[in-house]
Amino acid sequence: MRPAPSTASAWAPLIRQASLGAQYSRTEDARAAIDLAYTDVQAAFDAFLAARDPDRPFFLVGHGQGALLAKRLLAGRIAETTLSQSLVAAYLLGWPVDRNRDLFALNVRACQDPRDSRCIVSWSTFADPTDAEHFLAAAAWLERARPVDAPRLLCTNPSAARRMRSRSARRRTMAPCPSPRPRLAR
């Protein structure tokens, strides 16, 4: 993991990523591949912690398998520790985050305003027609959890908040999606 040159340090771990098939095969080999990738994430996070200024806040960002690994890192290394006070937000994109189970287990809430901190931003998109149930079942199997019903997926839209003028309008835009199923990508 190396900091990217910029005014704000960005760190991106170099990890051995499990193949896409590992996310869907539901075998112990698949779990072992994800576990191996997570050991790399932990090592990269240790390097980050050793180099970072403890007084500087940080973001945690992951997409797809990276979101799964970031969610696991949040649960195992950040939540319920003093590090959680420095977390600006966790962007867990393209991986299911259950509004009930995960937010409670991680002791964090959904971001609902652009100024919120110590919160999670998450969304998942699916093709039309969607096979969300297959994806959600496979994700639950990897996490050793019960499948998430699509209506319980955390779904925030932080980009729309910049266009909203009133605070109440921003809150409605950034609230978890009330739709009965995941929003479909078009």
How many Cα atoms occupy the beta-carbon half-sphere of 40 within 13 Å?
15
**pLDDT single digits (tens) 24-80:** 888 899 899 999 999 999 999 999 999 999 989 999 999 999 999 999 999 999 998
How many Cα atoms occupy the beta-carbon half-sphere of 121 within 13 Å?
24
Joined tokens for residue 133: 């149930």
Joined tokens for residue 13: 């771990």
**pLDDT single digits (tens) 146-173:** 877 766 888 887 565 554 445 555 444 4
Which segments of the chain does DSSP mark as H helices, in order? 28-51, 65-73, 101-106, 132-143, 158-161, 167-174
**pLDDT single digits (tens) 103-120:** 988 989 999 887 888 999
Strands 87-93 and 119-121: parallel
Under 8 Å between Cβ of 99 and 153: yes
The ranges assigned to domains in the chain are 2-174
Task: Please spell the DSSP secondary structure of 100-122, one letter per residue.
Answer: THHHHHHT-EE--STT--SEEE-
